[in-house]
Amino acid sequence: MATTHATTKKSGKKAEPKKWSAKVTKNSNAMDLEENIFESDDPKKIAESLKHSAEKSKRRKTTPFQSAMSMLNFYINRAGKNLPESQKDILEKAKDELREAFGRE
């Protein structure tokens, strides 16, 4: 009876754990974000900035609303994984502000 062994290729590149999400947030190919916008303590400012960036972008593949909400969700779920609860609450409120800004209450 033959046994099979799973092998993995090693590319020789050193992985950068926990940094890929910061790179995506900073260098999104879909839209240009205001620097440090996710660190703001004003949910309305976050939403307005994301809306502006999404509407201005010519590289996005979806609607401005979907692009903005996707970036916010991405940050909350990945890059914001280690954020304090208070900042997570602000970002969750920014989702509501974003829906309101796009008339999707």
Give the residue numbers spanning the domain of 43.
20-101
Classify residue 94: in a domain, yes or no. yes
Per the prediction, the chain carries an average pLDDT of 82
The contacts of residue 77 (CB under 8 Å, 6+ apart) are: none
Dist. CA 19–CA 23, nearest whole Å = 6
Share of the chain above pLDDT 70, in %: 69
Dist. CA 8–CA 88, nearest whole Å = 37
Classify residue 12: in a domain, yes or no. no
pLDDT of residue 19: 63
Q: Indicate whether 69 pLDDT > 90.
A: yes
pLDDT of residue 101: 96
Classify residue 69: in a domain, yes or no. yes
pLDDT of residue 31: 79
Q: Does residue 18 sit in helix, strand or coil?
A: coil
pLDDT of residue 9: 52
Classify residue 2: in a domain, yes or no. no
Classify residue 91: in a domain, yes or no. yes
Give the total number of structural domains in the chain: 1
Classify residue 11: in a domain, yes or no. no
Classify residue 25: in a domain, yes or no. yes
Mean pLDDT, residues 60-81:
88
pLDDT tens-digit series, residues 22-59 = 666 666 666 788 889 999 999 999 999 999 999 998 88
Confidence of residue 17 (pLDDT cuts 50, 70, 90): very low
Classify residue 4: in a domain, yes or no. no
